[in-house]
Structure 1
Amino acid sequence: MSAPGMDAAAWDARYAAGGRVWTPQPNLWAVEAFGDLTPGTALDLGTGEGRHALWLAGLGWDVTAVDFSAEALRTARAVQGADAPGTTAHIEWVHADLLTYTPAAGSQDAVLLMYIHLLAPDRRALVRSAARALAPGGTLLVVGHDLTNPAEGTGGPSDATVLFTAHDVAADLAGEPGIEVRLAQRRPRTVEGAVRPALDAVVVAVRTT
């Protein structure tokens, strides 16, 4: 990947350092978007340690979980084996770069892009590819640190070139046939121990046809 911070070797080193990098709990925006849906097929792009893939599989979804860090996927498999062995048949772990990985069009009932920060042209290409993967009635969730987060929120990258707003993502999706943006908002998210909340850009889109 070409964006600052999107280096597979660097992320491999981070994941190999020991301990979990991220919380094992699913993000609240993911729970809000998918928690009450009927399970089907799901694509978790940039799965990291697999928290959303494992959560969805536990609900009965069949998940394809993609990441460019082999160490992240090693951790995800280890967590699965220790904590969720019953999900083994429901998750396919895929080692691939999101910028070259092309999911089958119309194949997914849910697609997640959680905190993937890329330069704008790469982000636009990835968001559109994710939208094209949706089956009719499928839901796409895109969440990232909002452009205003470094100044007004907490955590996340400070490089403005890889941050975005919900309206940026909505614009990325404009013109995609059959895609309807249902929600595009800046939302605060409480961070334990932080004085200020994190500010997230949250977009939910649905394929209507």
Structure 2
Amino acid sequence: MDSHAWDARYGATDLVWGTEPNRWVVRETGGLPVGRALDLAAGEGRNGIWLAAGGWRVTAVDFSRVALERGRRLAAALPGEVADRLTWIRADALDHRPEPGGYDLVLIAYLHLPAEQRRSVLAMAADALAPGGTLLVVGHASANLTEGVGGPQDPGVLYSPGDIEADLAGRGLRTERAEHVRRPVTTVDGRVEQAVDTLVRSRRAEPAG
């Protein structure tokens, strides 16, 4: 889907993803020391807003004008210092060039691209990490096609923990967690089923000495 298709999707409903942050983002970043964060493909900003409320200075990047406008409105309704810690940038994740070494956290949540494009975004994300910084990648797993519910049904844009680790090989990061995780999803007929996500958390080494 291009930016116009996503504008249409966001414009067709109130909030596509809701206002609560993703559970894995909360679990994996809640204990990190606050600093500068980059939220790539931020959508309506639920994760970036949550990070900013916790003290992070967040750059939220998305190519959907409608999503970014909605994120700004959500942030404006919160205490002023939260909105002040957020910077919204309209850009495609494939084209955005963040400051090298400029971020203590880079978040990529549910960005699904063909493998070559995914590798390009991950390389840029790794380069954006400061020493000691964390890269968190969360998305619908390839295994979700056969073991879970929801998410894209195109295997070409899904990935496993091993795929992400391979994409990041040679980038100077240490894998801290690489696994499948399951979250409950309520279906349209009211049943609660499990979605399978890929979660990879990596860290750039601190300089020696």
TM-score range, shorter chain: over 0.9
State the distance in 1 between where 2:174 and 2:198 align.
Answer: 17
2:179 is the alignment partner of 1:179: no
Residues 121 and 194 of structure 1: CA distance in aligned 2, closer, same or farther (over 3 Å): farther
Shift in Å, 1:195: 3.7
Residues 161 and 85 of structure 1: CA distance in aligned 2, closer, same or farther (over 3 Å): same
2:60 is the alignment partner of 1:65: yes
The aligned residue for residue 109 of structure 2 is: 114
1:196 paired residue among 187, 193, 198? 193
- Say if 1:154 and 1:194, in contact at 8 Å, map to a contact too: no
Shift in Å, 1:194: 4.2
1:21 paired residue among 11, 16, 19? 16
Runs of 4+ residues deviating >2 angstroms: 82-86, 192-196
The aligned residue for residue 151 of structure 2 is: 156
Q: Root-mean-square deviation (CA), in Å?
A: 1.2
1:136-185 deviation line (CA, Å, top 9, x unaligned) = 11100001100011221011010011001011000000011x21111111
2:39 is the alignment partner of 1:44: yes
Shift in Å, 1:84: 4.7
Instruction: Please give the TM-score of this superposition, normalised by the length of structure 2.
Output: 0.94
2:202 is the alignment partner of 1:205: yes
- Say if 1:39 and 1:61, in contact at 8 Å, map to a contact too: yes
Instruction: Please give the TM-score of this superposition, normalised by the length of structure 1.
Output: 0.94
The aligned residue for residue 136 of structure 1 is: 131
Number of paired residues?
Answer: 203
For 2:152, what is the secondary structure of its paired residue? coil
State the distance in 2 between where 1:33 and 1:107 align.
Answer: 20
State the distance in 1 between where 2:4 and 2:191 align.
Answer: 30
Shift in Å, 1:196: 2.4
Instruction: Specify every segment of 5 or more residues in structure 2 that has no aligned partner in the other structure, as ranges.
Output: none
- Say if 2:184 and 2:192, in contact at 8 Å, map to a contact too: no
For 1:197, what is the secondary structure of its paired residue? strand
2:87 paired residue among 92, 104, 123? 92
Q: Which moved more, 1:17-26 or 1:47-56?
A: 17-26
For 2:28, the aligned partner's letter is A
For 1:163, the aligned partner's letter is L
Residues 41 and 97 of structure 1: CA distance in aligned 2, closer, same or farther (over 3 Å): same
- State the identity %: 47
State the distance in 1 between where 2:38 and 2:72 align.
Answer: 16
